Chains A and B, each alone.
Chain A
């Protein structure tokens, strides 16, 4: 066997991952992609290993709910042929390997910096000096936006090449948010420090990243979470989805100048995040998810209160969405704006909502279910238009679906109790992987432990890592004035990407 096939949240000895030579490693993983639409790369990373670099490639097979893991040890001094030459879905992973370890690729088409990490191989590269693509022409002009944007949002730089009002090309430069999180996971040894780090990877995806971390950690420690812990995690993920989707609909109304929609969706989000505060004391669910224990067991009272919040929400939400989706002035801005085709989405390996809005049925809740998702018989909502309208509509439908999931979950409350978290430390020389469908899409955390069970490598992948390129493609041939609504309709994470 040239790879080992495991399940989501499974821990295996590092020694059980087959080590291939580079040509075999490349061939295996590129060929895996051709095994059907359900095959995709969930993580591909390297870590220092006896003076060389060990590469680990994780290819998910959605059809049979497995993840194929293979590895290869390389010398960063020797140039390599790239995976990207064969498939663009490896594009950013290989740029990251190049940036972190100085691995040179002979045939990578776009070997540019990813996030300018503090420990990058080329210390001469600087965030202020990104090599943008340019076109020499008297007809064209460039527009630079950022890193600081007009609104209260995170920083990133957008460089447009325009022909009059029309965007020919957009290049997105990130990295401004880099805080060195992956290194901090290794340095900060207390479990409470690590879960706090996980909470701060992306503050709008607290549930997504904390669930990925605790599931991974518990798997490494051989701890089996009870149904009540899994219940809280599943519920938090679905609530977060509803809250953030609602906020996004509000912001999308702002960007098309529909003030009523902005105000109503904005205020509809308030009781949802206030509910998190009622449950766990924090409006964005920080402090709620903990490995092996919980401070906030779910009760019948909490369930009753939640159902009341959702009943009140649903009435106003239905009224507002019905109006929004029949309002010609809003639809004129949503329709056929920022289109990503299924072909593009497939070729660059988009995930989550950004894949589902082009008709690709990609959803970890279905393909690699964790926590209570196996009981929910979840079926992804898909659309096939790939435009701003599809992204708005998909949010509405996903909100309806998540409300249904929550109602189903709260019909059968687990016996809630306080867990103290008695579990052992992580097993030595192990590898583990955790996949979670956050509201943006597939969150993936991987860990490798060393001699005494200490963390040797911690790799985080936010869904935005795959999806930023989709935004850049979506706005081609759009008017530049439609960029804000396109950008908001994706609502990708800067800090989740920059780490």
Chain B
């Protein structure tokens, strides 16, 4: 017991005091900024492994982007990835960053159902379904609950049964072999319920887009409440996105 107390004491405070204003260490590739410089647009769009870049105007779709940063290395004056980790939104159009656009990525309050903040603002229990996820987003979702990020302090937790959940967090490009279990799990969650897509693979299929082993029909049946880009998602991206979704609005 004494040893346990000693260890506890030696650990000190490990949590991030304010997850909304935290700084990430190092050269994190977050929200990109695209300048209006003229470049060889074909070369730029050809470069991208997931066709996330479009022309006229030059834009990056964060729902498709794997954040590999290769475009920024090839065209350093055109594209820069900032360390801004607040990438989540509820409007897929806001995932598309156009050249000259500097503003933050935010949620569209008009698209948030009224009952979400009413029921979930101080308690949100989520069920996670990995449907072809490569275990990177899953690791980061687990990290959201560790002592550093401590998502539990906001009443946001992952639960073991859909019956106890208020929503579903989907990772992975949704494989054919997981399509039915995903549907069964979603159906078992009581109303009202939310759907969150975590990671590039879930939002667009990512690098697996077009694979015949996928079945993404689930996504066409329901409204998605939150898109969280990343490959994998950063815990701060996820936590901030969810907090914005459930917070009380006037």
- The chain A residues found within 8 Å of chain B, CB to CB, are 116-119, 127-128, 147-148, 150-155, 175-181, 183-184, 188, 190, 192-193, 196-197, 200-204, 206, 247, 260, 263-264, 266-267, 270, 274-275, 277-284, 286-287, 295, 316, 319-320, 323, 493-495, 498
Contact = CB atoms under 8 A, between A and B. Distances in A.
A495 B50 contact: no
Contacts of B29: 281-282, 287
Ranked nearest first, the 6 interchain pairs of A and B with the lowest CB-CB distance are A203-B136, A278-B26, A180-B213, A203-B134, A150-B160, A118-B213
Interface in B214-248: 214, 231-232, 234
Interface in B101-133: 128-133
Interface of B: 3-4, 6-8, 10-11, 14, 24-29, 47-50, 66-70, 73, 81, 128-143, 146-148, 158, 160-161, 172-173, 175-178, 180-181, 185, 201, 206-208, 211-214, 231-232, 234
A193 B70 CA distance: 11
B25 A274 contact: yes
15 contacts: A155-B129, A176-B177, A177-B172, A179-B175, A193-B49, A193-B50, A196-B49, A197-B207, A260-B8, A263-B147, A266-B147, A281-B27, A281-B67, A283-B232, A316-B11
A183 B161 CA distance: 35
Nearest to B27: A281
A263 B133 CA distance: 25
Given A192-B68, A284-B232, A323-B7, A179 B129 contact: no
A266 B160 contact: no
B4 A178 contact: no
A184 B175 CA distance: 14
Dominant secondary structure at the A interface:
loop
A419 B126 CA distance: 45
B27 A116 contact: no
Given A148-B129, A177-B178, A179-B175, 9 more contacts: A148-B181, A151-B158, A152-B158, A177-B130, A178-B213, A190-B49, A196-B66, A274-B25, A284-B136
Max chain B Cβ within 10 angstroms of own Cβ: one of A119, A152, A286, A498: A152
A155 B68 contact: no
Given A153-B130, A179-B213, A128 B180 contact: yes
Contact of A202 (B25, B28, B135): B135
Nearest to B215: A118
Nearest to B184: A148
Max chain B Cβ within 10 angstroms of own Cβ: one of A203, A267, A275, A498: A203
B141 A203 contact: no
B189 to A, nearest CB: 12
A179 B232 contact: no
